[in-house]
Amino acid sequence: MELKGKRIALGVTGGIAAYKAAELLRLLVKQGAEVRVAMTEGAAHFVTATTFQALSGQPVFIDQWDARMPNAMAHIDLSRQVDLMIVAPASADFLARVANGLADNLLTTMALARACPLLVAPAMNRQMWENPATRRNVARLQADGIGLLGPAVGEQACGEVGAGRMLEPEDIVEAVQAFFTPRLLAAKKVLLTAGPTFEAIDAVRGITNLSSGRMGYALARAARHAGAAVTLVSGPVALPTPAGVERINVRSALEMQTAVMARAAASDIFIAVAAVADYRVANVAGHKLKKDAGGIPALELVENPDILAGVAALENGPFCVGFAAESHDLEKHAQAKRQKKKVPLLVGNLIQDGFGGDENRLVLFDDHGIHPLPPASKTTLARQLIEHIAHLTGVA
């Protein structure tokens, strides 16, 4: 419920992507936002107002002179009592009208009369997007402080391929969440590790663990929403890259160490969330080991470098945050790890809470004491942890 209490006006213009606006609305409502929908007559050719009404639980407006508004001022009522106005999809025609201050239907009038920020998610044929007139209009909208979400590049409804697809609803919701997040880490560079490592035994087998990457990815998103430039060094996981985050895929602890050490000195904050294998196999076979090769193969293990301790030891290195997943005696083990790795902040979680799943329970250990956070989704905990880090690093 990251958007709980937020009031949003969702404008929908005519275009095949209008059907995606229904999913966008559903996701915004699911996040707790109170959404009022206004659509153009063109949009009503693609999706009915009934769909949006059912999903928002609110009346939907198309006509500026709708008699349901007692004062006949739908444009004022709908655009003034909201924290944000989003138009998705935003057609080339709508962008042109808003860029030029025209107000000839409910939606364009709302855009002109609004007292809140406006985000637009363009959707149109690639030639229309590339047309110099659209380029001019978009430049003018941006100069006027209107936020541009996309468009994405890809296959279009007309069969052509290029820039002009509306961003996926999930990506728009992500941008909306970022919009409402205070920029606590603006101009900061945050480096994170996430997920498990995979230490090869032979060409197809390896040693790994059950880290899903969810905690680390949630933190990467939260840091990005807080305005940081984020680099995520990720072990093998099946998660999409958070929008705006630079992702570097690695497999083994040694690859993770190389990727981290190449960037650590230039980072302001390093958050080690990855469940890194403590040991790797010394005698990795380049081929698939055969069962009938005779005897049970013996694995010789060697210790992996401690990436977090290595970064914490850098002179003028980043502010370091470590994680510890323990099965018992969380406080004792977490405090010991904090001292051993010499990090100012250590985040403890129990393995039964932390590994996999969308929820977790975190306890923060720092110079000021012990701070347990209430059990919550990894998304919520990530936001709270970023706030705590911003506080400790003196930027909030």
Binding-site string for ligand PMT from residue 177 to residue 196, where x marks contact by CB under 6 A and - marks none: ----------------x-x-
| Phi, psi for residue 10 in degrees, rounded to 5 | -105, 120
The whole-angstrom separation of Cα 192 and Cα 144 is: 35
The DSSP letter of residue 227 is: T
The answer to whether 325 contacts ligand PMT (rule: CB under 6 A) is: yes
The whole-angstrom separation of Cα 253 and Cα 235 is: 9
The answer to whether 129 contacts ligand PMT (rule: CB under 6 A) is: no
| CB 228, min distance to ligand PMT, A | 19
Nearer to ligand PMT, 183 or 251 (CB): 251
Nearer to ligand PMT, 226 or 253 (CB): 253
Q: Which member of 304, 379, 380, 393 binds ligand PMT (CB under 6 A)?
A: 304
Binding-site string for ligand PMT from residue 84 to residue 123, where x marks contact by CB under 6 A and - marks none: ----------------------------------------
Catalytic residue among 16, 54, 72, 158: 158
User: And the tokens for 232?
Assistant: 């995520």
CA 154 centroid distance within chain: 21
CA atoms within 13 A on the CB side of 153: 2
* Cα angle 179, 182, 185; round to 5: 110
| CB 89, min distance to ligand PMT, A | 34
The answer to whether 176 contacts ligand PMT (rule: CB under 6 A) is: no
Q: Identify the H or E element spanning 122.
A: strand 118-122
**Alpha helix ranges (H) inside 145-288:** 169-180, 214-225, 253-264
Cα–Cα distances (Å) from 146 to 82, 143, 225, 253, 284, in that order, read 16, 7, 18, 44, 55
Q: Which of residues 327-346 bind ligand PMT (CB under 6 A)?
A: 337
Cα–Cα distances (Å) from 164 to 17, 126, 138, 152, 211, in that order, read 10, 5, 13, 6, 37
Place of tokens 């960037």: 263
The answer to whether 233 contacts ligand PMT (rule: CB under 6 A) is: no
The answer to whether 28 contacts ligand PMT (rule: CB under 6 A) is: no
The answer to whether 306 contacts ligand PMT (rule: CB under 6 A) is: yes
The answer to whether 215 contacts ligand PMT (rule: CB under 6 A) is: yes
Segment near ligand PMT (CB under 6 A); pick from 129-137, 267-275, 284-292, 365-373: 267-275
Segment near ligand PMT (CB under 6 A); pick from 142-150, 174-182, 274-282, 287-295: 274-282
CA 11 centroid distance within chain: 23
Give the three-state DSSP class for 347: strand
Q: Which member of 9, 10, 37, 324 binds ligand PMT (CB under 6 A)?
A: 324
| CB 253, min distance to ligand PMT, A | 5
| Whether residue 158 lies in the annotated active site | yes
The whole-angstrom separation of Cα 121 and Cα 86 is: 8
The whole-angstrom separation of Cα 83 and Cα 362 is: 32
Binding-residue total with ligand PMT (CB under 6 A): 28
Which residues of the shown chain bind ligand PMT in the complex (CB under 6 A)?
193, 195, 211-216, 253, 272-276, 278, 304, 306-308, 322-325, 337, 349, 354-356
Give the active site residues: 158
